[in-house]
Structure 1
Amino acid sequence: PFGHDFSSNQEPGRVSFHGSDSTWSEYDVGDGGIILFYPEGEFTVGKSNPIWGPGYTGQLLFSKKAPSFTQISIRHKFSENWQFSSVHGWLNSNIDDSTYLDVYGPHGGLPLIRKYVAAHRMDVWIKKNFRIGFGESVIYGGRGVEPVYLIPFIFSWSSQHDLGDSDNLQMFFDFDWAMKRLGRFYGAFYLDEWDFVDTFSDSSRSWTAYQFGAAISLPIIQNWSPLLRVEYTRLSPYVYVHRSQVNSVEHHGHWLGYWSGPNSDNFFSAVEFMPRSDIWLQLYYQSSRRGEVTDETIDAQYDHQSVEFLYKTYEGEVETRTIMGLKAAAAVNSWLKLELELYSDDWLQRLDKSGVGRTSDQKMDAVVKLVIGL
């Protein structure tokens, strides 16, 4: 999926292709759960996508890109200024467990190697309009649930050292700053497999991603609530991947975090208007670039060798996708909404279906949706 997919659209999970030319695909999606509310927070058992981070086009830690996954989570407010969140999730590794071969036989579907994610974060409101958040996450697998990762108040950094340092640990920080009559400013920083001792050395294994953005109120046509959005996201070649495949930051083969994946960046800008309370308009522009991540680049990063940003093995310019268009939404009534999108899509150096060559696509397209909410 990494080579062919290059969009923020959510993936459905397992997909079966039918027909001689595989033009028909079959998939199913099911989300749900139980939420127990109490005065200071909530406890959830369910299957969904947690969204952690302030980004508009996507988040660095948990986004809507990957299929939903089964999880238990808790959110607790210690006071008006302090909030703690924790989640433990069951992921799909896409790796067959060959130890069951004698049970299922060579032609039966094998169970998958187990894979999990555990994360916790603390959010602090310095002021009512200024929030900072920080926390940890860990991807692990190849065994059963680790009880220590179910204890939300223990640092995962220390726990994974006690377990042999075989898991994939991440740290993160984000902030939101809302300014009256000006807009909202936000950012996020993601640190994958932090090596404290080598942090400032040439052989540092501190692999990073970052995101900064703003939504600024424009001083024109005030009764239309004009808004300017700008956001930039950059992911180094080292994030989300791991020398042990089961520890990659993926679910069903799709990134849990930002949709463009490692060794990529994305710039987004838009102007929005609300000419009426029930009508929303957006003119947007998005430019995305992506290099390659290979077994060789992963080996290099663990050997403390530098991998150039937007590194690639093919000739020509780096893979680029530029999309610009118009989005509109109108509330027909209290339970029906109409959404429309018109856009142009210019995708250069796209990996073709054979997985070998590169091609380019240019198209104009439109999407119409009816959203029903009862």
Structure 2
Amino acid sequence: MKISLSKPFALLVAVMLSVPAFAASPVVGPENVRNLRLLENSPMLFDLHRVTTGEGRQFFAYPHRDTAFRKNFVDSERNALLYYDNENGAAVSGHGSAFEKKNPRMGLAMSLVGGIDYRGGESLGDTIWPGVDGGIYLRGYADSIDFVLDARIYDEGHSASYPKSFDGEFLEFQKEENNSGLEYTSYARYRAHIALNYDWLRLDFGRDVMHWGPGYYNNLSLNQFALPYNMLSLDMQFGPLRVLSFYGDLRIYPGMGMNNKEEMRNIFGHRYELAVGNATFGISELQIQYDNLKPWLFVPVVPLFMEKGNYSEDSNNGSLSFDFNYRLFRSLRMYSEFYLDDMESPVSLVKNDNIEAKWAWMAGMHGAHDFKIKSHLLESGFIAEYARIEPYVYSHFHANTAQMAHLGRPLGNQAGPNSQTIDFTAYGRLDRHVFASLRNTWFWKGTDYGSAVNDTTPRRNHMKIHKRFLKGADMEYSLTPSISYEGQYVFFLGEITLFNDEKVYLRTGFKW
């Protein structure tokens, strides 16, 4: 008797590849471009895409609550490895329940997640193969509480003798002479949220990255491409007014050194957004504290730029930024952000000839449109942004103190001080399965003092020290094509960067 597995196998593959991937999270968060990738390649990009093509109020602070999570929970999570809700009961991989009731009071879903990567890069000086990760993805809700946890363990092979961390976080490297002939690198990563929701208020405890403002690549105050940190946030909405207060626990030094125990850096931030018609006005204020934790700064009505004067200048650092966004014809957003780190006077900003004028500016536009081609949906768009960051922005008076940084990298724009960036990206997604993008980046970075986040700001004679924007900078151009496939259980990604800082990133991932 001949047994053929071709038809069942083909059917299984078709199901895995044809069912759309759901975000399946109570929060819409920043993109995970370095680690913890799930099945949806760019959830925040397409959230901004929906904002651009939509009609409702526009707010620009991530992560934020996904109100569709509970509404779609039964349909989106019923095929999870382990499932339970108080109306339909328990299920394993979609079996064990008829899933007739759609509005349970509580629900819980757990999946296994993981994948295998091939990564390499010029600046990394290494080839990572294989990079294997695996863990659990837990999400759910009960009454006014919702939560999500993505926790994984990584194990990597490296071509470099002394590998560097690909994602900028802690990396444990075991040499063969110290480990019975076995050589490997390993580390663990997680992001999580657990939140209390009450009508107009949301209190969220989590580990993630804040992204404030209407831009995508080049936001100046808090940027999605910073490294993750532990945080507490309070999100309140009063009609067209949104008020967000947050606290973040930062690290000065990488690794597990004793310096992180002896020296503390924390951040408090407030964001105020007013959404009127197609326009949104935003104000973001931040205060970094070094060995001087003041919980009072979490209170949303406390003006941080005023409170800053109540503490020693060596132990705190502050900033204030203003942004504006306007939507046209449900197909284009135009936006800008001005970031003020420090100034001697408004006149010094106009003259802009000394290091006391510490500011940054970005402007951009996001075009988006959805095309219906017979029975297919094509979501397409482009993002164009320009950012200019003056010397000494994000820095402070003493190294490794109150810099606007976490683990040595800026909390805001990742280009850092004394830089200029132009980004243009075209993207498209077909039937929420096939995603493709082409990113062009023109980048300039100064080389003299004041170009690094840990370069110290002189304490005296500020007005007499002239700054030199982009001194020694050469234009660097890079081209990054990317393509991915997003299924119900599997994910494939191929991305390569050409011309400058050449690198490659290939991934096959799963969620079951």
What is the TM-score normalised by the length of structure 2?
0.58
Structure 2 residue 286 is the aligned partner of structure 1 residue 137: yes
State the match for 1:255 in structure 2. 410
How many aligned positions are there? 331
Alignment map for 1:321-360 (pairs within 5 Å): 321-332=476-487, 334-347=488-501
Q: Residue 190 of structure 1 aligns with which residue?
A: 339
Out of 265, 287, 293, the position equivalent to 1:115 is 265
1:54 aligns with 2:214: yes
Choose from 429, 443, 468 the match for 1:288: 443
Distance 1:219 1:124, change over 3 A: closer
The structure 1 segments of at least 4 consecutive aligned residues displaced by more than 6 Å after TM superposition are 218-223
Residue among 183, 191, 195 paired with 1:35: 195
Greater RCO structure (CA 8 Å; 6+ sep)? 2
Identity over aligned pairs, percent: 19
* CA deviation after TM superposition for structure 1 residue 252, in Å: 1.0
Query: Where in structure 1 are there 5+ consecutive unaligned residues?
Result: 97-107, 313-317, 348-362
Which deviations, in whole Å up to 9, do the C-alpha atoms of 1:215-264 show, x marking residues without a partner? 22589998745423211111111210111231111111111111111111
One-letter amino acid of the structure 2 residue matched with residue 14 of structure 1: F
1:237 matched residue in structure 2: 391
Q: 1:50 to 1:244 in 2, by over 3 A?
A: same
Whole-angstrom CA distance in 2 between matches of 1:148 and 1:339:
45
Post-superposition shift, 1:344?
1.0
Whether the 8 Å CA contact 1:195–1:204 is kept in 2: the answer is no
Inter-CA distance 264–151: structure 2 relative to 1 (3 Å threshold): same
Alpha-carbon distance between aligned partners in 1 of 2:371 and 2:195, rounded to the nearest angstrom: 43
Deviation at 1:199, TM superposition (A): 4.8
> What is the aligned partner in structure 2 of residue 13 from structure 1?
169
Deviations along 1:302-336, whole A, 9 cap, x unmatched?
62222111134xxxxx254321132122223x343
Tell whether the 8 Å contact from 1:71 to 1:90 is kept in structure 2 after alignment: yes
For residue 367 of structure 2, what is the aligned residue in structure 1?
A: 216
Cα pair 2:221 2:284 within 8 Å, conserved:
no
Larger radius of gyration: 2
Which residue is equivalent to 2:223? 63
Aligned twin of 1:156: 304
**Alpha-carbon distance between aligned partners in 1 of 2:186 and 2:198, rounded to the nearest angstrom:** 40
CA RMSD of aligned residues (A): 3.3
The residue number in structure 1 matching 2:326 is 177
SS in 2 for 1:299: coil
- Aligned amino acid, residue 140 of structure 1: Q
Bigger CA drift: 302-311 or 116-125? 302-311
Moved more, 183-192 or 269-278: 269-278
CA contact 1:300–1:307 (8 Å) conserved in 2: no
Question: Cα 1:133–1:302, aligned 2, differ >3 Å: closer, same or farther?
Answer: farther
Letter in 1 for 2:390: S
Q: 1:123 to 1:184 in 2, by over 3 A?
A: same
In terms of mean alpha carbon deviation, does 134-143 or 275-284 score higher?
Answer: 275-284
Gaps in structure 2 of 5+ consecutive residues: 1-122, 125-164, 177-182
Deviates more, 1:203-212 or 1:29-38: 203-212
Q: Distance in 2 between matches of 1:282 and 1:227?
A: 10
